[in-house]
Amino acid sequence: MQYKFPDNFWWGAATSGPQSEGRFHKVHKSVFDHWYDIEPEAFFDRVGPNVASNFYNDYVQDIAFMKEVGLNSVRTSIQWTRLMKDFEAGTVEPEAAEFYRKVIEEFLRQGIRPVINLHHFDLPVELYEKYGGWESKEVVELFVIFAQKCFELFGGQVKDWITFNEPMVVAEGEYLYQFHYPNVVDGKKACQVIYNLNLASAKVIEAFHRSSCAKQGGRIGIVLNLTPAYPRSQDEADIKAAAFAEDFKNNAFLYPAVKGVFPQSLTDVLKEDGVLWDSTPEELAIIKENTVDFLGINYYHPFRAKARENAFDESRGWLPEKHFEEYEMPGARMNPYRGWEIYPQAIYDIAIEVRDKCGNIPWYVAENGMGVEGEEKFRNRDGYIEDDYRIDFLKEHLACLHKAIAEGSNCFGFHMWTPIDCWSWKNAYKNRYGFIAVDLSNQQKTIKKSGYWMKEVSQNNGF
């Protein structure tokens, strides 16, 4: 075998509550539930989160499918809007608690390690309306209450916890680039949200470490989407532009999560631009003292940056693009079915960066995968999807990861996005990612060729 991975390697996949469960029996609405209810046309084919992949009703069968494709660990999330009866009083919906208890039990019964995430873009819309969502520090406190409830209820069974999935996407989607409700464009608020999410993560980590979960051998991390920023050229101006993009997009969460501090190179620029967040010395001390036990990293594509060539358009106020322009690299290899650049080398670069700049903290690939629009066209006469392109994509990324592990990067697992094709926010079911396909007309699920391939990889601990 050419690529053998470390013992006990996680071969798994990731999904989330709002993208898989469906809205059955939910009392509260998330920002996405609300957005779909008021503007369904904003979603691809007008498909919303109401049914998703029906995990709420089908979880026993779905987890059996996950077992069937060889997954030994799976990440999903507990929905804040499902579990809590009253966000402020900290009371729980008994039916929701029972649902998550049964889901976790089913994972364990099938020998699959459940990795539980507390926030996957699903802020309760009531907390946006009442407080301004992640702009507000009240919401930070309410999130800690929710997290503590989760630890109390499920900490005996779940050993691996995640505070947030891709917090940068919350700031970008809600406050910069208009792909998450409320679709505001406000750079100053985006910066405050970045800070508040870091604070919320640190406070949840603090609560976790004080809880019985930690004493029972549990650990807690964060899942960050890293898009390594590569400069167009070695010219000083391009390097500087890429360095700012790297600081804003990646290090704004990576550094506080693992080092407990924000990069000074970032805060200097934000201060100079008049958009630095409000913080207190007490909060900064909490961030300093409560770093993660491990890291999850989502990697899909790199970011190419160049120095600004056109004057920055001030009409929408401050934006990070004041300091760089995105650059389309000529000849870049693109995923023809999703439009993202394919660059497996970046997974090696990330792994080495974590080794050298983040104290070689234990980490895993928490999402990587290939989205394919119109994947039904690859279904063969025997009725299953022949996704060789996905197998090739995974092999290339895993080969780069393997090289970094051989060079000492402390990576303990690989999760693909996603086990079962799931609902993906505004893109709904446009881009399919799963090892298992879903037919939306009847909720029939079938294993793709990549699922059978993954089973072998997992059994052999390599390929």
- The amino acid that residue 305 corresponds to is A
Q: On the CB side of 4, how many CA atoms lie within 13 Å of its CA?
A: 2
| Binds ligand BGP (CB under 6 A): choice among 17, 173, 260, 371 | 371
In the region spanning residues 132 to 171, those forming contacts with ligand BGP, defined by CB under 6 A, are 165-166
Closest CA to 62 of 374, 434, 427: 434
Among 21, 93, 135, 166, the active-site one is 166
Which one, 146 or 164, has the nearer CB to ligand BGP?
164
CB of 208 to ligand BGP, least distance (A): 22
E strand spans, 99-138: 113-117
Question: Cβ of residue 44: shortest distance to ligand BGP, in angstroms?
Answer: 9
Query: Which residue in 81, 424, 450, 458 binds ligand BGP (CB under 6 A)?
Result: 424
Specify the amino acid at residue 159.
Answer: K
Q: Which listed residue (290, 410, 431, 450) binds ligand BGP by CB under 6 A?
A: 431
In the complex with ligand BGP, the residue whose CB is nearer, 425 or 453, is: 425
Query: What residues from 300 to 339 belong to the interface with ligand BGP (CB under 6 A)?
Result: 338
Interface region with ligand BGP, contact rule CB under 6 A, candidates 57-65, 238-246, 417-425, 438-446: 417-425
Query: What is the per-residue burial (b if ≥16 Cβ within 10 Å, else e) of 147-157?
Result: bbbbbebbbeb
Stretch that binds ligand BGP, among 152-160, 265-273, 423-431, 443-451 (CB under 6 A): 423-431
Work out how close the CB of 32 gets to ligand BGP at its nearest, in angstroms, rounded to a whole number.
11
Name which of 187 and 371 has its Cβ closer to ligand BGP: 371
Closest CA to 44 of 191, 244, 179: 179
Q: What share of the chain is helix, strand, coil (3-state, %, to 5)?
A: 45, 15, 35
Neighbours of 447 (CB within 10 A): 19
Q: Which residues contact 320 (CB under 8 A, 6 or more apart)?
A: 176, 187, 244, 245, 248, 249
CA dihedral (274, 280, 285, 288) in degrees, to 10, reads -20
CB of 366 to ligand BGP, least distance (A): 9
Which positions are catalytic? Answer: 166, 367
- Enumerate binding residues for ligand BGP (CB under 6 A): 16, 19, 165-166, 225, 298, 338, 367, 371, 417, 424-425, 427, 431
